Structure 1
């Protein structure tokens, strides 16, 4: 605590004045002390000191009893002055002083003058303000700052401890529907129930809107934290009475353990909050795992690099041919995003596409892919001296459909590159459709109005709701490679593929099989009635220029025949 040093201008500096001036001129408690035998004697005392209750008889003075050794050390030193903070009394009635020891001259080694500035009111005010700053006004519990203070105190003792973060599920929805008063009542009741599940040595805090933090001591038995978490979940399992409703509240609990490697309070709390995310996924208690956090950091690093890659146009499209199984002729290409960073590292789509979807970067990435596919298709037409006869398939992410206005994006790409809508095949996954079926149906009808072909990608791996297939304007079903690969040796896979093909035929849809890698597999799929095939049998994903050479070669062969 920083305080101003006392004004000692009134303290005598001359040896004669030390005994001759009236100490009443000094407005702060001041006493002059000298050595006498084996102890100290009071040479002069002012009125303020007498009223301070620090003792006016040397051998009975609590001040000398507590500060005697410090005064003695000062007199033995060559210092002319020493300042320090000091308190006296019990916790409730403690008084706080700023103490100054000063000797009149260096020659008088057995004399010193002691001045006391009373800081008690200031200390109490600061502590009161601190309590207000670190206390949650609704529950009376420590808030985030107060919780951090508690953890710091435990870390200073180097004792084993764990932090639990409890996040209430559906609280935002309950608060919005039932009102703020009901939400406050719920938080107060939740705090009471959690407190009832704690041990006497555990501490509870409210560290966020619907987040509670617990600091608990753990020795070698780390399972105690998991047992506490389960007690809390059971305590919150009974419904809460709010107005005319009985509401069930579930929670997700994350646990992080303090150790010598973690001396940052905020890092420990963040670790527990990070574990909460895992708990939300599994509806259980989750302990912080360093590896998971490292992976999350890597994803954030990739997000940063991907954002720059999109801005700097480091991405490109590769094109994999899709062939007619009956004739082997190329009918279209699927556009696939590829990313090679400035260091020459090729990042796999399975690594950066999920990051793009999670971060929302899939929207600018998808817009770029749409325009780049149209630009490439136009280039192929120009190189072939007219319509090259190819279509390009572009994938639409569920996040794109939710966050972007896809139809105008597709229309703008077609207009910009002077293409008709029938040159595009737009592939959607089942998961994209079920997120908001009515809205997605409207988008699909809008895309159909542009003349595009719509394909359902990875059919059979998601929800496979037949009602969607009847109502939505889907032209092509793509059979996932997991059913096609190894199909010849697995009767169950053959049965699944046969069922999908029969369904598509009944609904008037064409089909594309992914993962075609052998002639035998292609012939079998054709015999079963599959329309198109895509896989390494025909080609791996190609650069745009290599795809163009394949198109030209196919056109030349067709003309020759």
Structure 2
């Protein structure tokens, strides 16, 4: 191999088909703004460089990184190669796309190297990236920027760190009542306060409408995150003075911890959000617990399965008898939903009903239960050759009362089954009355015009207003099972039941006691003045054909 290296430049590559035959003397021309370098290397490593004017203006002549790049390519044996390269600190930092092409016609190893200046494109991309990862209102990183920072922390293998998710409570109400401008001002001020409560190296981002995220390193222990959370809560506890308003803002804070073993940034954020949801209930900063996410995932899985079960008609109703405590005769049945999935697993109503309410599935579930119960009652009438002599009770969720047109649905169901409204009893809880008393009153009045009986379920466990109770068209009070269980041995429960019975008699309402499991309890309730009762002392919830057989046997 020769003992010298020669570097020559020009600004246009020869056509691909003639590149190997190019004359090095042509490399003094300037044809297009793409500098080219031709290098001939020898074993001694000495080099001689010559440049065209454009190559010199680009500031590449003093860059010592060029020679190792060429040496590496020629030593690799490849015919062509490309790589990205940027200039160092000696000149203005610029970005290039470098292409290598081996010159095979020369006796010594040589290559043609082209530099395409990509600085403008790279800077534009960086600018767009900054805009995409920055919240335009607060100037903080947005969700994407926060995720990038978290992924960088994970990539560095940081030994211990924490993510705090902060939710400003009641913000949506402020925004709706006071306007978006005041809401924006509140967010900006809150961001400044939170930033002031953090340490120097902590990262603050706005990850949602009223949600902020904090990424902090842990040096001494988990107490550091708790301490920062307390400082944030203290900073936000001071009233916000915006325009002529003084607003008090509380927050929920969820904390999730990470270490070098964590591999997914989104998992950590999700863990912190699960803890934040718990914080809304406890009003304290909460740390993520594995069981909380497992429970949330189980609920989402149940929601998916429940939606499929409703669509495929996999649920069924069972009927628990309601008996006259004085005579023992069956006066009605309460319809209760039951669900057995494809694997034969039976799900308790106490588990899937709350999931249905939270997800909104309670609306289609309630519609199905109403139609199914009324049709079953009509079928019993057919079997009895006329009115079978009982009513059927269906539970109404507060969510369904708010979202659905209950009177129209009831009227349609009754008409479709050919059942009069007097045969249907609708049960609602005290919480339904509290949510929107005026709306509920209009709904109940419309139902009463259809002849439907209205019952208040689980009476005594909520916070119903007695004045509202007097004004609403309620026909029946159902005494919660918590007051019935242990009635024979607890004088306080006897006093509570006696008070409920006195109230119902004063308002002209019937009473139904739930959870009667012994005949002695039923007899005691009857002596106190209770009208009806239901529970295992009479019968468990029965399938439709079993319920009809029980009715025929009991009322024969």
TM-score, scaled relative to structure 1? 0.90
For 2:259 and 2:487, how far apart are their aligned partners in 1?
Answer: 53
Deviations 1:287-315 (A, max 9, x none): 23332222222222222222222222222
Mapping 1:386-535, distance limit 5 Å? 386-535=386-535
Measured after TM superposition, the shift of residue 459 of structure 1 is 0.9
Alignment equivalent of 1:29, drawn from 9, 28, 35? 35
Equivalence map 1:342-357=2 (5 Å): 342-357=342-357
CA separation of 1:539/1:68 partners in 2, compared to 1, >3 Å: closer, same or farther? Answer: same
2:42 aligned with 1:45: no
Q: Is the 8 A contact 1:34 1:40 kept in 2?
A: no
Tell me the SS of whatever aligns to 1:45. Answer: coil
Unaligned runs of 5+ in 2: 1-10
Alignment root-mean-square deviation, CA: 2.4
Could you tell me how far apart the structure 2 residues matched to 1:103 and 1:549 are? 95
Partner of 1:77: 76
- Asked whether the equivalents of residues 233 and 251 of structure 1 are also in contact (C-alpha less than 8 Å), the reply is yes
The equivalent residue for 2:282 is 282
CA gap 1:220/1:92 in 2 versus in 1, 3 angstroms: farther
Separation in 2, partners of 1:271, 1:226: 16
Q: How far, CA to CA, are the matches of 2:419 and 2:113 in structure 1?
A: 94
Shift of 1:403: 1.1
1:9 maps to what in 2? 14
Q: 1:111 to 1:239 in 2, by over 3 A?
A: same
Aligned pair 1:20/2:25, yes or no?
Answer: yes
Q: Which residue is equivalent to 1:298?
A: 298
- 1:313-348 deviations in whole A, cap 9, x for unaligned? 222211111111112121111111112223322221
Which residue does 1:204 correspond to in 2? 204
Contact 1:278 1:286 in 2 (8 A): yes
Give a deviation string over 1:56-92, Cα, whole Å, max 9, x none.
xxxxxx42x3344333333333234432222223399
Give CA deviations for 1:417-465 in whole Å, capped at 9, x if unaligned.
2222221222111111111112212222222222222211111111143
Q: What's the secondary structure of 2:385's corresponding residue?
A: coil
- The answer to whether the 8 A contact 1:18-1:104 is kept is no
Matches within 5 A, 1:38-437: 38-42=44-48, 44-55=50-61, 62-63=62-63, 65-90=64-89, 93-105=92-104, 108-159=107-158, 160-219=160-219, 221-259=221-259, 262-437=262-437
Distance across 1 between alignment mates of 2:49 and 2:534: 105
Where does residue 58 of structure 1 map in the other structure? none
SS at match of 1:79: coil
Greater mean deviation of Cα atoms: 415-424 or 452-461: 415-424
- The CA distance in 1 between the partners of 2:243 and 2:86, in whole Å, is 51
Number of aligned residue pairs: give it.
543
TM-score normalised per structure 2: 0.91
CA deviation after TM superposition for structure 1 residue 14, in Å: 5.1
- 2:5 aligns to what? none
2 CA distance for matches of 1:185 and 1:524? 63
Q: Separation in 1 of the partners of 2:76 and 2:517?
A: 92
Change (3 A) 1:7 1:345: farther
Task: Work out whether residues 30 and 54 of structure 2, in 8 Å CA contact, stay in contact via their aligned partners in 1.
Answer: no
In structure 1, what is the Cα distance between the partners aligned to 2:527 and 2:90? Answer: 91
In structure 2, what is the Cα distance between the partners aligned to 1:129 and 1:43? Answer: 38
Other structure's SS at 1:221 match = coil
Distance 1:230 1:531 in 2: 55
Task: Give secondary structure in 1 for the equivalent of 2:448.
Answer: helix
Q: SS of 1:130's equivalent?
A: helix
Mean alpha-carbon deviation: is it higher for 326-335 or for 415-424?
Answer: 415-424
The alpha carbon displacement at 1:7 in A equals 6.5
1:347-376 CA-to-partner distances (Å, cap 9, x unmatched) read: 211111111111222122212211221111
Shift in Å at residue 43 of structure 1? 5.2
